[in-house]
Amino acid sequence: MNTLMILFVFPLLIIFSYLFDAFSRKTKFPSVILLMFTGIIVRIIISANGYDEIGFLDNLIPVLGTIGLILIVLEGALELEIKKEKLPIILKGFFAALVILIINITALKWMFTNIFEMNTQLAILSAIPLAIISSAVAIPSAAGLLNKDREFVVYESTFSDILGIMIFNYALRQFETNQLLIGTTPLISLFFQILGVVVISIAITYILFRLIRQIDHHVKFFLILALLIMVYAFGKLFHLPALVTIFIFGIFLSNVKSLLPQFLKNYLELDQTEKELDEFHILTAESAFLVRTFFFLFFGFSIQLADFKSVQPLFYGVLIILIMLLLRYAYFTVTTFKVKPSPLVYMSPRGLISILLFIQLKEVEFIDFSNSLINERVLLIVILSSMLFMLIGTLKKRQTDYPKVGIDDETPLTVEMDFDPPEIPENNS
């Protein structure tokens, strides 16, 4: 493929992605499905023309996915508003992410070991990526929900990303060193590790915030993003939950006025700071859009339809997502005392995180992933079916569920009269 062709193709793909995103906002159809299918179609066309060398994608997809993950978590954190009155929904999102994640991992692990006859280590490490909700898909797809439900989706999916990666890295480290997965000593060690990361993250956040305030160069936000990527890389090097740092940094930037003490507020020009942070948020959102576009395009490009001749991956994938949706429905039924499924039940798409962890799983030396029944084909079916179920859930929402009057309220505006209207005398003329 020559340079001129690339100059035509790349901008065209970005334009398509923008149109897909606009189409998604109107119809609630996940744009990442369209991106993946575009990648598949491009692969078919290129293969038909004799170009089938895609070895470069093996290294490119994980890099794009990791950068996309950092940007998406940062973008999600920048949209979160921390206030005292929002504490209940923050805790609700956290506990929903944690409990549903653990229930799904436990159920899938039991199915993989008892029905698919997989060994315990491979079963657990395969179950974790499948159980994680993708904030990259869930947050944009929640745009049509009520404010309260939309905020819940943002909190739950972001916490699911962070907790899922932490659990995966913890399990990987325990299996690699032949230690117990659940025990007093490793869990206490994990707790203090997280506590240490939080303290370090606060210090890093303060340093980066000071950099934003003091750098006079016209290019500084990409420097901050580069430093965040380096922080994440160091965290990965030492097997630390570096996403916590990204999340805390984004939370701090989006809530400077409420989190800073009063004496620091007087010291800083907060109006100018907020203007700069708005610019940083826009840059983060657009960078995330660009990286997410090429990640899902390249992921779709790496898929070969010839690998789906068997119906076995389809059966396994649909079975897995149905089990997880049933467990999610049970959780919301118990916690809300409502039998009728709400749109939140369907808001559990899989995506970028699951793909990244499966790629990482293929590189683990102490397990044999090559002959596993739960492979990339099953993962693709789980991703697509979870997005389609999410689409069905959002389409089931009728206009009567979200009244026109009172945009941000759950109930329509009504006026009560505590007096009888006066009688209008008849006109006899």
Per-residue model confidence (pLDDT) at position 409: 44
- Which residues have C-beta within 8 Å of that of residue 259, sequence separation ≥ 6? 82, 251, 252
Please give the average per-residue pLDDT across 43-59, as a whole number.
71
- Is 135 within a domain? yes
Structure tokens at 367: 């397990």
Nearest residue to 74 via CA among 228, 196, 221 = 228
- Which stretch of 27-31, 60-64, 93-97, 412-416 has the lowest confidence by average pLDDT? 412-416
Per-residue model confidence (pLDDT) at position 405: 41
Given a contact cutoff of 8 angstroms between Cβ atoms, the answer to whether 70 and 294 are in contact is: no
The distance of Cα 370 from the centroid of its chain, to the nearest Å, equals 27
- Is 412 within a domain? no
For residues 96 and 138, what is the distance between their CA atoms, to the nearest angstrom? 15
Structure tokens at 355: 């793909």
Nearest residue to 157 via CA among 173, 178, 171, 141 = 141
- Which stretch of 18-32, 90-104, 379-393 has the lowest confidence by average pLDDT? 18-32
Q: Which helix (H) or strand (E) holds 148?
A: helix 147-176
- Is 298 within a domain? yes
Residue 51's Cβ-side half-sphere holds a number of Cα atoms within 13 Å equal to 9
Per-residue model confidence (pLDDT) at position 55: 62
Please give the average per-residue pLDDT across 139-152, as a whole number.
76
Per-residue model confidence (pLDDT) at position 322: 93
- Which residues have C-beta within 8 Å of that of residue 360, sequence separation ≥ 6? 62
Per-residue model confidence (pLDDT) at position 293: 85
Residue 364's Cβ-side half-sphere holds a number of Cα atoms within 13 Å equal to 23
CATH of residue 59's domain is 1.20.1530.20
Burial class (CB in 10 A: 0-12, 13-18, 19+), 273: middle
Structure tokens at 332: 């919301």
Segment 216-239, tens digit of pLDDT: 777 777 888 888 888 888 887 777
Given a contact cutoff of 8 angstroms between Cβ atoms, the answer to whether 165 and 241 are in contact is: yes
State the chain's mean pLDDT as an integer: 79
- Is 426 within a domain? no
Segment 343-400, tens digit of pLDDT: 888 888 888 888 888 888 887 777 877 778 888 888 889 998 898 888 877 776 544 3
Segment 162-215, tens digit of pLDDT: 888 888 888 888 888 888 778 777 778 778 877 887 888 888 877 877 777 777
- Is 421 within a domain? no
Q: How far, CA to CA in Å, does 247 sit from each of 21, 172, 197?
A: 25, 22, 12
Nearest residue to 278 via CA among 260, 249, 253 = 253
- Tell me, what DSSP letter sits at residue 374? S
Structure tokens at 138: 């869930």
**Residue holding tokens 């965290």?**
235
Over pLDDT 90: what percentage of the chain?
11
- Is 417 within a domain? no
Over pLDDT 70: what percentage of the chain?
84
- Which stretch of 45-54, 79-88, 117-126 has the lowest confidence by average pLDDT? 45-54
- Which residues have C-beta within 8 Å of that of residue 84, sequence separation ≥ 6? none
Burial class (CB in 10 A: 0-12, 13-18, 19+), 25: middle
The DSSP line for 181-236 is SS-HHHHHHHHHHHHHHHHHHHHHHHHHHHHHHH--SS--HHHHHHHHHHHHHHHH
Per-residue model confidence (pLDDT) at position 48: 75
For residues 309 and 262, what is the distance between their CA atoms, to the nearest angstrom? 64
Per-residue model confidence (pLDDT) at position 423: 53
Structure tokens at 203: 């210090």
Given a contact cutoff of 8 angstroms between Cβ atoms, the answer to whether 66 and 131 are in contact is: no
pLDDT at 403 over 70: no
Domain containing 235 equals 3-398
Segment 263-317, tens digit of pLDDT: 555 555 556 666 777 788 888 888 888 888 888 888 888 777 766 777 888 899 9
- Which residues have C-beta within 8 Å of that of residue 206, sequence separation ≥ 6? none
- Is 299 within a domain? yes
- Helical segments of 215-341, H only: 221-237, 243-254, 256-259, 262-267, 270-301, 312-336
- Is 14 within a domain? yes
Q: Domains in the chain: how many in total?
A: 1
The distance of Cα 256 from the centroid of its chain, to the nearest Å, equals 24
- Helix count and strand count (H, E) for the chain: 17, 0
